[in-house]
Amino acid sequence: MTMTYSIGEKIHIIRLIRGYTEIYVAGKLRISQQTYSYLERSSKEISNDRLLLVCEALEITMEFLTVFNPDILLEIRQFKHTNGQLSQNNDRIVELQRVQILQLQENVQGLRSQLKVQNGIIKDLRHLLNKKFSIIKGSGSRQVG
């Protein structure tokens, strides 16, 4: 649902976005702060001459003031909030994946250690089998001879 904003409300919002105080803008317009405050709060029409001066003080064009829709700022804010949440979720996912990678690396190290042990056992068994086979082979040739 989009709201309809008066020119005064738009001026107020733009001033806040710019970070200007009422006193600062009033000084640029050479009017009192009370007069400027009334200008922002008033629903009455503002003369084009005065409006042009306000736009110059706020460093915007009349066209920008006319088409400016403050609701877009709320949408951007909501988008940034949603995007920020997504970014936080992505950060969490990345962190979880880092933890999983570390765990997998530890598992690989453990499996490599087990493989070394098993390879050592296989090597020892081969050595024993070779010894036994050579003994059997050697004893078999003695009997024949």
Q: Stretch 99-105: mean pLDDT, rounded?
A: 83
13-28 pLDDT, tens digit each: 999 999 999 999 999 9
pLDDT of residue 144: 47
Which of 18, 37, 69 corresponds to the end of one domain? 69
Helix, strand or coil for residue 137? helix
- Asked if residue 92 belongs to a domain, the reply is yes
In angstroms, the Cα distances linking 89 to 83, 94, 100 are 10, 9, 16
pLDDT in tens, 29-39: 999 999 999 99
63 and 102, same domain (yes or no): no
Query: With contact defined as beta carbons under 8 Å apart, do 54 and 39 qualify?
Result: yes
pLDDT higher than 50, residue 140: yes
Average pLDDT value over all residues in the chain? 85
Residue 78 covered by a domain = no
Contact 30, 74 (CB under 8 A): no
* Residue 142 confidence (pLDDT): 52
- Quick one: 54 and 95 in the same domain? no
Residue 127 scores a pLDDT above 50: yes
Q: How far, in Å, CA of 128 to CA of 15, rounded?
A: 91
97/90 Cα distance (integer angstroms) = 10
pTM for this structure?
0.52
- CA dihedral over 124, 127, 133, 135, signed as positive or negative: negative
Tokens 């803008």, residue located:
25
Question: Is residue 91 located within the same domain as residue 143?
Answer: yes
Q: What are 50-65's pLDDT values in tens digits? A: 999 999 999 999 999 9
> In the chain, how many domains are there?
2
Q: Which pLDDT belongs to residue 1?
A: 58
Share of the chain above pLDDT 90, in %: 47
Q: Is 19 helix (H, G, I), strand (E, B) or coil?
A: coil
Residue of 16, 1, 11 whose CA lies nearest to 51: 11
Handedness of CA 27, 31, 35, 38 (dihedral sign): negative
The residue from 17, 36, 69 where one domain ends is: 69
* pLDDT at residue 58, as a whole number: 96
The CATH number covering residue 38 comes to 1.10.260.40
Average pLDDT over residues 105-129: 91
In a domain, 1, yes or no: no
Q: Which domain holds residue 51?
A: 7-69
